[in-house]
Amino acid sequence: MIPRVPSAPRTRLTPVQRRAQLLELGIEMLSENRLEDVAIDHISHLAGISRGLLFHYFPSKRDFHLAVVEAAAQHLLDRTEPDPHLPVMKQLRSSVEAFVDYLAEHRTTYISLVRGASGSDPDLQAIFERTRRAIGDRILDRLGVTDPLPGVLAVIRGWVAFADEVSLDWLAQDAPELTRDGLIELLEESLVALIQVAAAHSR
């Protein structure tokens, strides 16, 4: 069903702008709906275009959904990209802060990406894996590690899963005992401790 909201006035957008607009609307819907409930009719109505035009940009509903999840993942990576001019520990802090805040704002989107989306669909699974890898690779890059010990690589990747679990669990609590800052510090200190364990272990 299409909610009775006024549709956007028909504006001339370039194809690039139109595509970006449709993806933004998709991401926005994903923050309150599961992926399978992101309806083409609703999106094209909000954009003030016909279903047909949407399918011109995304040949099928599935193509649109994959593109929305891909864009959401990129959005997360952009949001958590730390300023490379900061000292490394400050970069870690600002990135973890951005991650926790992103999750708090986009919990449903993130769950779609991490859990919902990572189900038995191999394409969604691939987006999920690429995103986790990209976060791990960025940590290594900022640490200046080009040839990580196998244990260090393993714990950094594992920490991304750890941070997901701890943060989603925290968000699911009605009255979490940990404060936002406490959570951020815990995630940060955990990464440092895990890298120390792995480095000592590999020696």
What is the binding site for its own copies (CB under 8 A)? 34-36, 115-121, 125, 150-151, 154-155, 157-166, 169-170, 176-178, 182-183, 185-186, 189-190, 193-194, 196-198, 201
Cβ nearer to its own copies, comparing 115 with 130: 115
Instruction: Write out the two tokens for 103.
Output: 């999750």
CB of 23 to its own copies, least distance (A): 21
CB of 193 to its own copies, least distance (A): 4
Cβ nearer to its own copies, comparing 47 with 99: 99
Q: What does the radius of gyration of the chain's CA atoms come to, in whole angstroms?
A: 19
Cβ nearer to its own copies, comparing 48 with 151: 151
Cβ nearer to its own copies, comparing 19 with 107: 107
CB of 25 to its own copies, least distance (A): 21
Q: Which residue has the tokens 């120390």?
A: 196
Cβ nearer to its own copies, comparing 140 with 178: 178
3-state SS string for the chain = CCCCCCCCCCCCCCHHHHHHHHHHHHHHHHCCCCHHHCCHHHHHHHHCCCHHHHHHHCCCHHHHHHHHHHHHHHHHHHHCCCCCCCCHHHHHHHHHHHHHHHHHHCHHHHHHHHHHCCCCCHHHHHHHHHHHHHHHHHHHHHHCCCCCCHHHHHHHHHHHHHHHHHHHHHHHCCCCCCCHHHHHHHHHHHHHHHHHHHHHHHC
Cβ nearer to its own copies, comparing 51 with 133: 133
Distance set, CA 32 to CA 27, 35, 68 (Å):
9, 9, 14
CB of 124 to its own copies, least distance (A): 9
CB of 13 to its own copies, least distance (A): 32
CB of 84 to its own copies, least distance (A): 26
